[in-house]
Structure 1
Amino acid sequence: MGSRSKALALYKQILQESKKFTSYNYRNYAIRKTRDEFRQNKEVTDPQKLKDLFKKAKDNLEIVQRQVLVGQMYDGGHLVIENQPKTS
């Protein structure tokens, strides 16, 4: 499997985990931060830099997974903004 497909798989996995946050603010921050980081580094071709970025992304995935579990244990309820109907 090529590095591009590995990166896309890792990107999708981090986004899926980020969507599990019960907190609206954490959820949106994690999704936005993930998208920004991957967009910022999409042109990197240096093998060592890619290796470092993969390590950082895997570490961040583990952090998100742990924080989702902690957030589920201490759910603080939903914000008013979360109950708003979505407009097209």
Structure 2
Amino acid sequence: AASSRAQVLRLYRALLRESQRFSGYNYRTYAIRRIRDAFRENKNVEDSEKIEELLNKAKANLEVIQRQVTIGQLYSTEKLVIESPGNT
């Protein structure tokens, strides 16, 4: 149980850390709120099969967040500079 608790906490921190990387404020706050709510909602789950299922779901969500953050950085509009034709 102690090792699964440590695993859960590691995953929780990883999800929050990765969510902090969203460039958009709304995406960032939504992701953080959903992560906190989901972990709080399931904090009293005792069934090891259910815990394993929730861990797998959280890992899949972490991968989705990582992909979305990467895609968001690739297509970031903040760094986009468009020069007018007269400036060449």
How would you bin the TM-score normalised by the shorter chain? 0.7 to 0.9
Query: 1:48-86 CA deviation, whole Å, 9 max, x = no partner?
Result: 100100000000000000000011112244xxxxxxxxx
- Count the aligned residue pairs: 77
- TM-score of the superposed pair, with normalisation by structure 2: 0.83
In structure 2, runs of 5+ residues without a counterpart are 79-88
Tell me the distance in 2 between the aligned counterparts of 1:4 and 1:25: 30
Percent of aligned pairs with the same residue? 52
- Which 4+ stretches in 1 moved above 3 angstroms? none
Q: Greater RCO between the two (CA within 8 Å, min separation 6)?
A: 1
For 1:29, the equivalent position in structure 2 comes to 30
- TM-score of the superposed pair, with normalisation by structure 1: 0.83
Q: Which amino acid aligns with 1:53?
A: L
Asked which structure has the greater CA Rg, the reply is 2
- Pairwise CA RMSD: 1.0
* Residues 1-88 of structure 1 aligned to structure 2 (within 5 Å): 2-77=3-78
